[in-house]
Chains A and B, each alone.
Chain A
Amino acid sequence: MRFDKKDILDMEGLSVEEIELILDTAESLKEISTRAIKKVPTLRGKTVVHFFYEPSTRTRTSFEIAAKRLSADTVSLSASTSSMVKGETLVDTARNLEAMNPDAIILRHNAAGAPHMIARLVQASVVNAGDGMHAHPTQALLDMMTVREKKGRLSGLRIAIIGDIAHSRVARSNTVGFVKMGAHVVLAGPPTMIPKGIETLGAPVTYHIQEAVKGADVIMVLRIQKERQRPFLFPSEREYAQCYGLTTESLAGAKDDVLIMHPGPMNRGVEIAPEVADGPFSVILEQVANGVALRMAILYLLLGGPR
């Protein structure tokens, strides 16, 4: 199958076949990262711009390593080091980057829709590395890769996503992606953190985490996003931990081989107890490892072939 997408902006824009192709490609590229010389020449002569308008550790490092392992030249920009601090608009910044003829722009931005706007303006491939509360497709894909690797399938699995659904792009992209692949997704969190109409994405909602955990094959815990918090969503971190935090006790109803996932960064002791995060069911660091392979696959599929 040929992959002829220009951009990767959200999970709605990918078909089942395209998702499978991305996951298969990622699996085959994973081995490169285990070699003594972790580099292949595949994207030699290609230029990838990493433009992170919002802070990021994992995603940014992951994309940079992925591009370098494929021998692409990489340039890294952040809001504080770009002319955006001088008042340049995103549109102008994008046009200027485009003038230097990059092959891909990896964009993280705090405004939903920013990558979509840029994608319409530039010839380069645009990969959404997280836009506001909207989408984080490469995170969803690496989560799907991790689950498929462990469980051998996605279809029919019961996936519980717990926490601040309202402010989470990870929740939205994972819900759309897993539902598309035939999994049963349940969303759980306090009512103040459940956005209106989210069930129309095909995932039922519960306000009780025990209900979501019950029989779950996978539990994804979302971060309490301190930087995006609005007032009055919950009384205290203490109460949040008690009522909605994933602990050894609240894990009780899940399947025996449940996977515990977290997109990071974690607030230990708030949404997830340390013993769960570091416990036997946790695949949190494997998610990070797969992130590199997944992003190599994305870059390879976007830039590797003729377009």
Chain B
Amino acid sequence: MKTLTYIKKENLNTFLEELNKDYDVFLPVQNRENGTINFESLDTVNDNNVVNLKEKTRKSPKSLFFPPTENLFEFEYIKDIKTPDIMEIKLSESEEMIPDKINSRKNIIFGIKPCDVMALKCLDLVFGEGEKKDSRYVMKRANTIIISIGCNNIFPDCFCTSVGGNPFYFDHSDLGLIDMGPDLVIFKSSEKDDIRELLDKSHKFFEEREINSDEEIKIKKIISDSEVKCRSNNESVNAEDIVLDMENKFNDEEMWKNITRKCISCAACTYVCPTCVCFNIGDEQSGMKGERYKCWDFCTNYYYTLEASGHNPRENIYQRYRNKINCKYNYFYKRNKNLYCVGCGRCIDVCPVGMDIREIVKHVRSSQK
């Protein structure tokens, strides 16, 4: 007989508030005014902002590790009137970059979906490894506990199974929970020290139950129903095949022009995507002081490849969109053996004109040159 740990849903609020005392808890919060759900701190929950664990968030949780804007450092030009031809530059670290500030309290992300956890794995490949790893990103990742909840419901824009994912993919989460109705069951738990510490601290909210085969079947059914539903809604994409198709159809300009006519080259899909990570670095100066900042950038922008000479290799929308699709389904796979799309469907949900990345990929695969 197996034993599993259960959390009653009626205890969930108190459990989270208890956690909030020692950790900074982030979870999906829905604004009653306009219905959008985003990852916010537990402190913002009130009558107008309620917790909603059933649906996808509008913006992805990447902003907790890769913020839309952050100051890298501050600089100041210092001149001494006695030596007017010498100018010193004083550099100082911005507050948000100071390691002690980042590590002051551990973070918990609660209620993150399996597609977003797969996306964090992709972000790790970009920012967390190799010579060029971002030390602040690595610090934030090490400082965060990920508690994921699997997807009992599949929405019209979900397609994680097409790209090698799964509605109950718990591999990179620290804790994986399944919604059983009146309670949540901890289906997967990592052996790391900080997770054991968290579980020990909160044991009064948990219930250890010996489960019988009926319960096991029930859990397995929830998992397989979701997977089957997602697979039946969407076609599967084989990574090696799609990379080859993208390469072969790259120069078919007529096809690319036809399928991207609708696109208005805004940044909506890029900014809500959990894996898109292009960024821009700039300086803001006022008088003798200034700061260098890093902010999100988007490749569907005209200015993205504009060169100082005035020439722009990607002058038209179809070229920029083609680059975006290739980045996700071609280039990244060649570098890291991982597709760069996790099938969350946020781009489809937010696109002003209804561009559907599934249709685009299908078109590329099936078009005859």
> Is this pair of chains taken from one and the same complex?
no
Residues of chain B touching chain A, judged by Cβ–Cβ distance below 8 Å, are none
Residues of chain A touching chain B, judged by Cβ–Cβ distance below 8 Å, are none
